[in-house]
């Protein structure tokens, strides 16, 4: 009977580094969301009065005819959706054991996130 050496330099590594990109994406999207949150808080505190027009101006300001407010809001929302996808997908993978149920939950989560991004884009770019 031959023994297999599944350790050391001759081991077969399958699935290595699959989580590295997700780990980095979680951290990068978290930084984007933290910075955007600080920008919104500073913008809200700097408002002369808390009116709809001033709140709308946080999301629609332009720099050299470039809609910077809408671009930053879109970047933050896409970061939020990606961050949520990675986190919720990992929860489904860790805690839902039946493969069919897990796949259904992942598909429903993905559809919900895509729908949220489409709805957000319609709202923010119509302003």
Domains of the chain: 20-126 (1.20.1300.10)
What whole-number distance in Å separates Cα of residue 85 and Cα of residue 74? Answer: 16
Q: Which two tokens stand for residue 17?
A: 């580094």
Residue 62 labelled as part of a binding site: no
Put simply, whether the predicted model's pTM sits higher than 0.75 gets the answer yes
Residue 95 labelled as part of a binding site: yes
Nearest to 59 by CA among 47, 46, 74, 48: 74
Nearest to 125 by CA among 80, 82, 75, 71: 71
Show pLDDT as tens, one digit a residue, over the chain (127 residues). 556 666 666 666 555 566 889 999 999 999 999 999 999 999 989 999 989 999 898 899 899 999 999 999 999 999 999 999 999 999 999 999 999 999 999 999 999 999 999 999 999 999 8
């Amino acid at each position: 009977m031959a023994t297999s050496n599944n350790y050391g330099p001759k081991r077969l590594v399958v699935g290595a580094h699959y989580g590295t990109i997700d780990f980095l994406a979680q951290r990068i999207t978290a930084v984007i969301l933290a910075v955007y949150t600080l920008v919104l808080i500073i913008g809200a505190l700097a408002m002369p009065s808390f009116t709809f027009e001033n709140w709308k101006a946080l999301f629609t300001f332009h720099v050299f005819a470039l809609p910077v407010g809408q671009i930053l809001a879109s970047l933050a929302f896409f970061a939020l959706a990606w961050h949520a996808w990675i986190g919720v997908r990992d929860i489904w993978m860790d805690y839902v054991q039946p493969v069919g149920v897990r796949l259904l939950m992942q598909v429903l989560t993905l559809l919900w996130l895509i729908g949220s991004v489409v709805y957000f884009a319609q709202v923010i770019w119509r302003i």
